[in-house]
Chains A and B, each alone.
Chain A
């Protein structure tokens, strides 16, 4: 029954892409946060969360993503999201999250704009 989350990272020049696959609940959110904070400690100030492999999230998981956004604001970094399902994107807009972390339809445009 457990819907676990797999998280992988692609480190690029000055930017890291975090890929998720599975349900972003509290454990999933904490795993993303653990990976994001490790990347920040390594010196990455631009992070892209590619949620293409995630079809469902819950508000507890999203609240942990808000902690990451807060951290990125604190370090004057940038965090973006890409490849969201229409419902996850709509949810982020309902919450106003998109005002603080831009949403991109695909990874290539996200990388280009976050680097600009």
Chain B
């Protein structure tokens, strides 16, 4: 297993820096270009959620990339963690276009996109922070 962790300051477009690391590691794993793109987009969404909503006092988002596999790289696991105020994932309504077109608030798609693009997604959140663990097979 190989592992890299980034500590991203909460400044605009830090999600792009995380996506560049995701791309480099997924390329090292010889993931297909389309799957790399999906990972990249999911990383962008997870980082944006943390950067925008966490209200973490340390003003940082931690992104860990782990290459899993006994012999060859088989799976990329990405953990996006913040020490913010947390939220209740189960209370978030699943957004739909029909509802968003009628609503003033068009946002709130991040988790739906992450779940749609990654193979496995787990969200743990409490008042001391949020951790999103997402994986994609090579």
Closest beta carbon of chain A to B52's beta carbon, Å: 8
A85 touches B101 (CB 8 A): no
B48 touches A59 (CB 8 A): yes
A57 to B15, CA, bound (A): 11
- Residues of the B chain whose Cβ atoms lie less than 8 Å from the Cβ of A99: 97
A58 to B107, CA, bound (A): 11
Q: Judge if B45 is at the interface, Cβ distance under 8 Å.
A: yes
- Given A59-B107, A66-B106, A87-B41: A94 touches B101 (CB 8 Å cut-off): no
Selected from B16, B19, B106, B117, the residue in CB contact (under 8 A) with A94 is: B117
Contact with B along A48-60 (1 / 0, CB 8 A): 0000000111111
How many residue pairs bridge A and B at CB < 8 Å? 77
The stretch of A10-18, A67-75, A103-111 that contacts the partner chain = A67-75
Closest beta carbon of chain B to A48's beta carbon, Å: 19
Q: Judge if B116 is at the interface, Cβ distance under 8 Å.
A: yes
Q: Interface range on chain B: under 10, 10 to 19, 20 to 34, or 35 or more?
A: 20 to 34
Selected from B37, B98, B107, B110, the residue in CB contact (under 8 A) with A86 is: B37
- Residues of the B chain whose Cβ atoms lie less than 8 Å from the Cβ of A95: 95, 97, 109, 112-113
A68 to B108, CA, bound (A): 17
B107 touches A63 (CB 8 A): yes
A56 touches B17 (CB 8 A): no
Which residues in chain B, 79-94, are within 8 Å of chain A measured between CB atoms?
A: none
A60 to B91, CA, bound (A): 21
- Residues of the A chain whose Cβ atoms lie less than 8 Å from the Cβ of B96: 96
- Given A69-B101, A87-B37: A1 touches B117 (CB 8 Å cut-off): no
Q: Judge if A35 is at the interface, Cβ distance under 8 Å.
A: no
Please, which residue of chain B has its CB at the minimum distance from the CB of A3?
B16
Name B residues whose Cβ lies closer than 8 Å to a Cβ of A: 12-13, 15-17, 19, 34, 37-38, 40-41, 44-45, 48, 95-98, 100-101, 106-110, 112-113, 116-117
Can you identify 17 A-B contacts, CB atoms within 8 angstroms? Answer: A3-B13, A23-B16, A56-B40, A57-B41, A58-B41, A59-B107, A59-B109, A63-B106, A63-B107, A64-B106, A66-B97, A87-B37, A91-B41, A91-B117, A94-B117, A96-B96, A100-B97
8 closest A-B pairs by CB? A94-B116, A63-B106, A87-B37, A59-B109, A96-B97, A63-B107, A66-B106, A86-B34
